[in-house]
C-alpha cells in the first residue's frame, strides 16, 4: 500500500546510512528507500515512549511530502505505535527512522536488530489496549459521577 508522509528533508541520507549498515552489498536501485524504512519499522524494538525525544527534537527539521510504499503489517504496527503515544503516523514514522539511526550498533560485531516477532507485536497491542481501557474507565467513572 502507499501512504503520503512528511519525511525528513534528509531522508535520502538516512536511507543511505541504514542501507550501508544493513545491506552493504546493495545500492539504492536494489534496495529502495521505502524498503529500508519498512525494515526500520519492522526492526524497531524500543518502547513507543522512546520515540518522544526524537519527535520533540525533530520538530524543527524541514520535511517534504513523499508517497511511500509500506507493507500492510508495517503500516498496522506504525499505527499501533503512533496511537500508543498519541502522535500522528507521519511524525511517528520520522521518529522511528531517527531512533533507528541513533541506535545503530557502533561496531560490525554488535548484533543488528532483526524484525520483531509476534510476541513484541502483541506486547505493543496489549500496551495500547491497557491505555485505552484506562481512558474508558476514567470516562465511565466521570459519567457515573454525573448521574449521581
User: Tens digits of per-residue pLDDT, 21-61?
Assistant: 888 888 878 888 888 998 999 889 888 899 998 888 877 77
- DSSP 3-state percent helix, strand, coil across the chain (nearest 5): 60, 10, 30
Q: pLDDT per residue over 77-114, tens digit each?
A: 999 999 989 999 989 999 999 999 998 887 554 445 55
The confidence score (pLDDT) of residue 96 equals: 93
The confidence score (pLDDT) of residue 113 equals: 52
Does 123 or 40 have the greater pLDDT score?
A: 40
Is 115:73 a contact under the CB 8 Å cutoff?
Answer: no
Rounded-to-integer distance, Cα 41 and Cα 38, Å: 5
Rounded-to-integer distance, Cα 21 and Cα 108, Å: 8
The confidence score (pLDDT) of residue 72 equals: 87
Rounded-to-integer distance, Cα 56 and Cα 40, Å: 19
* pTM score: 0.71
The confidence score (pLDDT) of residue 108 equals: 56
Rounded-to-integer distance, Cα 14 and Cα 30, Å: 16
Amino acid at each position: 500500500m502507499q501512504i503520503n508522509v512528511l519525511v525528513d528533508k534528509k531522508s535520502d541520507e538516512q536511507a543511505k546510512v541504514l542501507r550501508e549498515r544493513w545491506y552493504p552489498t546493495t545500492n539504492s536501485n536494489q534496495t529502495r528507500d521505502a524498503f529500508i524504512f519498512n525494515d526500520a519499522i519492522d526492526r524497531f524494538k524500543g518502547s513507543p515512549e522512546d520515540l518522544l525525544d526524537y519527535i520533540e527534537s525533530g520538530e524543527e527539521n524541514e520535511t517534504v511530502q513523499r508517497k511511500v510504499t509500506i507493507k500492510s503489517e508495517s503500516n498496522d504496527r506504525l499505527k499501533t505505535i503512533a496511537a500508543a503515544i498519541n502522535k500522528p503516523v507521519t511524525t511517528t514514522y520520522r521518529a522511528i527512522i531517527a531512533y533507528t539511526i541513533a541506535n545503530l550498533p557502533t561496531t560490525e560485531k554488535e548484533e543488528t536488530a532483526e524484525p520483531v516477532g509476534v510476541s513484541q507485536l502483541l506486547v505493543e497491542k496489549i500496551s495500547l489496549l491497557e491505555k485505552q481501557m484506562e481512558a474508558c474507565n476514567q470516562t465511565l467513572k466521570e459519567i457515573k459521577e454525573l448521574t449521581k
